[in-house]
Amino acid sequence: MCGIIGYIGEKQAAPILIDGLKKLEYRGYDSSGVGVISSGPNGGMRPVPSKVILRKSHGKIQNLEELIKSRPFPESCIGISHTRWATHGAPNRVNAHPHSDCEGKILIVHNGIIENYEPLRDALRKRGHRIVSDTDTEVVAHLIEENNRGDLVQAVQKAIKQLDGAFALAIISSDYPDTLIAARVGSPLIIGLGKNENFVASDVPAILEHTKKIIYLKDQQMAVLKKDSVRVFWFGGKAVKPKVDVVKFHMDAVQKQGYAHFMLKEIHEQPDVLAQMIKSRLKGNQVILDGFGLTEAQLKGIKNIALIACGTAYHAGLVGRYVIEKLTGIPVMVDAASEFRYRDPIVDKSTLIVAISQSGETADTLAAVREAKSKGGKVIAICNVVGSSLTREADGVLYTHAGPEIGVASTKAYVAQIAMLYLMALKLSAHRKKIAARARLRIIRDFKRVPALYKDILKHKNAIAVIARKNSHFGCFLFLGRNVNYPSALEGALKLKEISYIPAEGYPAGEMKHGPIALIDEYRAVVCIAPQSEVYEKMISNMQEIRARKGKIIAIATEGDQAIKAHANHVVYIPKTNSLLTPLLVALPLQLIAYYIAVQLGCDVDQPRNLAKSVTVE
Ligand code: F6R
């Protein structure tokens, strides 16, 4: 939520900042801004004092770029910038970051929420400060101003002591044109190390073009960046010798590479993501879960499992519950992380907590993890982003290594999450007698075939696009599934509504008669997930009930099932596989249906309204 990039070096700051912001636009895109410090001689005639120069705009970064083109910055080698997802205050120019102090000398950009900003703001106003925006952020600039006694670092230290909440901050001041300060609590912030240049950013893609050497700033740490040095220390002042990581991914990973949208590119990456996971995690029939952090004895001692996650990752957890219970017999609870804390969950030392998150920065998931740990539970993270907050707080990490996911709607991360849950279930099943060894081996064999089956489905994507287009006029969709594919129905509905804005409900098909059937008429489309399985006949009955009420049906069925055509208006086929594995396969046509409908409706697929990629506020 919100993206930050700052630069200090020898190059012109503004183009680097704008370019970096575009890579972070997935984090928020309702307004943006760049602030730089100009300094130096005025044509060699007389020294000109440094001053800050700001350009801010509402809407997407393109607007900001056009503004800067029409009113270019003067020369400047230091600056900070921000793309916003509004929390406090409307998404307009005034509330866009950077924010400044009364004198317009200090500039700050912020990701997170300052929870006590109202009393701070009221007190600052009483002391004569002019606060012009509705944001929680602006108070920080004024607090720094108030505490500035000739040492910017100390002023920042004193100011942040007064803050409650979460923040990643980047700060510059025209009185210190050779210094860029970064500080974090709760919200992610990284430092990029270059040659005679250094960077601060919310996430790696923003600076990947310039450096692969990264310091992941920890909570309660600050950094002072000069063009040729970086000093990291705890808020209290104690110096830190930071670990420098070298990130592996290439620029291709954060570019569209000819695809119309990141979402489509990421959908196409899924077979490779799965193949890579299988290669590294399955040696013969043995599941290798490096990072799990549990001994064989601890694995045997697990009495129950709690899966916690938000949104799409929560749906992955719901699939995981079916799979783990069926393969291991271990009771599993699944909670939306935002609810977990409030229901006083029964968790103890024998509970394995599995927190699932693409970003590893989702505030509710992190809060749920802290709650679970406080009750003695052991926490394993299934996470995509290396070094994220979740991975640092968990006792063990299973990285999905799906590569950067830029499209706001999660696709490859979801598939990687459920694949990892299958692997976890297979690993745990080796210690239990819930399924026969031969059956377990058959699942492993079929699991290994999934990447190839994905490629088969992708060959038919044009046919899926035609079906999607034909149904894009429906004003309301219902997604129905049973058993392992009930969560698939939830996920299919979520994908559609978030990128096309069409109201869509996911339901267990058996529940349809208990209410949603009232929705059915000739103006509703119903996606029925009905691959061959033990609940197939029941799905067919549901489809007959829908047809009897004139509802229009898109069925997702197993290749070769000709009979289903009699009950559906359109059929999308997936290859035959073990019924337990079908959520992995049906995810793909569901993503494609949502994608092509959204494109047909002219929606902004990669940056749907009101959404942001990672939700770092509760
Ligand atoms: C939907 C989507 C969100 C995320 C949710 C959790 O397409 O992407 O629902 O799944 O915000 O995010 P992570 O996985 O980063 O914790």
Q: Give per-residue pLDDT as tens, 261-289.
A: 999 999 999 999 999 999 999 999 999 98
**C-beta atoms surrounding 244 within 10 Å:** 12
Q: Which CATH number fits domain 3-254: 3.10.20.340, 3.40.309.10, 3.60.20.10, 3.30.9.100?
A: 3.60.20.10
- The answer, yes or no, to whether any atom of ligand 1 lies below 6 A from the CB of 417, is no
pLDDT tens-digit series, residues 174-184: 999 999 999 99
- Rounded to the nearest angstrom, the distance between the alpha carbon of 587 and the centre of ligand 1 is 15
**pTM across the whole model:** 0.85
Q: Tell me how far apart the alpha carbons of residues 312 and 359 are, in angstroms, rounded to a whole number.
A: 12
CA-proximal residue: ligand 1, atom 11 (nearest): 311
Residue 47 pLDDT class (50, 70, 90 cuts)? low
pLDDT tens-digit series, residues 452-471: 999 999 999 999 999 999 99
Q: Tell me how far apart the alpha carbons of residues 556 and 548 are, in angstroms, rounded to a whole number.
A: 19
Tell me what percent of the residues of the chain surpass a pLDDT of 90. Answer: 78
* Matching fold, domains 264-448 and 455-618: yes
- pLDDT surpassing 90 at residue 101: yes
Mean pLDDT calculated for residue range 156-164:
96
* Mean residue pLDDT across the chain: 93
- pLDDT surpassing 70 at residue 108: yes
- pLDDT at position 43 is 41
> What DSSP character marks residue 186?
B
Nearest to 58 by CA among 86, 26, 17: 86
Tell me what percent of the residues of the chain surpass a pLDDT of 70. Answer: 98
Which amino acid does the sequence have at 123?
A: A
Sorted by where each begins, the domain ranges of the chain are 3-254, 264-448, 455-618
* Most informative mutation of 308, 319, 358, 420 for ligand 1 (most atoms within 8 A of CB): 358
- The answer, yes or no, to whether any atom of ligand 1 lies below 6 A from the CB of 606, is no
Point out the ligand 1 atom lying closest to the alpha carbon of residue 413: 14
- pLDDT surpassing 60 at residue 42: no
Q: Which fold has domain 264-448?
A: Rossmann fold (3.40.50)
- pLDDT surpassing 90 at residue 564: yes
Cα separation of the two ends of the chain: 11
- pLDDT at position 110 is 95
Mean pLDDT calculated for residue range 553-576:
97
- pLDDT at position 448 is 97
Q: What are the phi and psi torsion angles at 31 (to 5°)? A: -170, 165
pLDDT tens-digit series, residues 467-490: 999 999 999 999 999 999 999 999
DSSP string covering 524-541 = -EEEEEE-SSTTHHHHHH
Residue 301 pLDDT class (50, 70, 90 cuts)? confident
- Rounded to the nearest angstrom, the distance between the alpha carbon of 383 and the centre of ligand 1 is 11
Residue 48 pLDDT class (50, 70, 90 cuts)? low
Instruction: Supply 576's token pair.
Output: 């035959």
- The answer, yes or no, to whether any atom of ligand 1 lies below 6 A from the CB of 311, is yes
Three-state DSSP at 518 gives: helix
Q: Tell me how far apart the alpha carbons of residues 146 and 275 are, in angstroms, rounded to a whole number.
A: 56
- pLDDT at position 40 is 60
Query: Order of strands across the sheet with 165-173?
Result: 99-100, 106-114, 165-173, 180-185, 221-226, 229-234, 239-240
- pLDDT at position 294 is 81
Max mean pLDDT among 82-86, 362-366, 511-515, 557-561 falls in 557-561
Residue 44 pLDDT class (50, 70, 90 cuts)? very low
Architecture of domain 455-618: 3-Layer(aba) Sandwich (3.40)
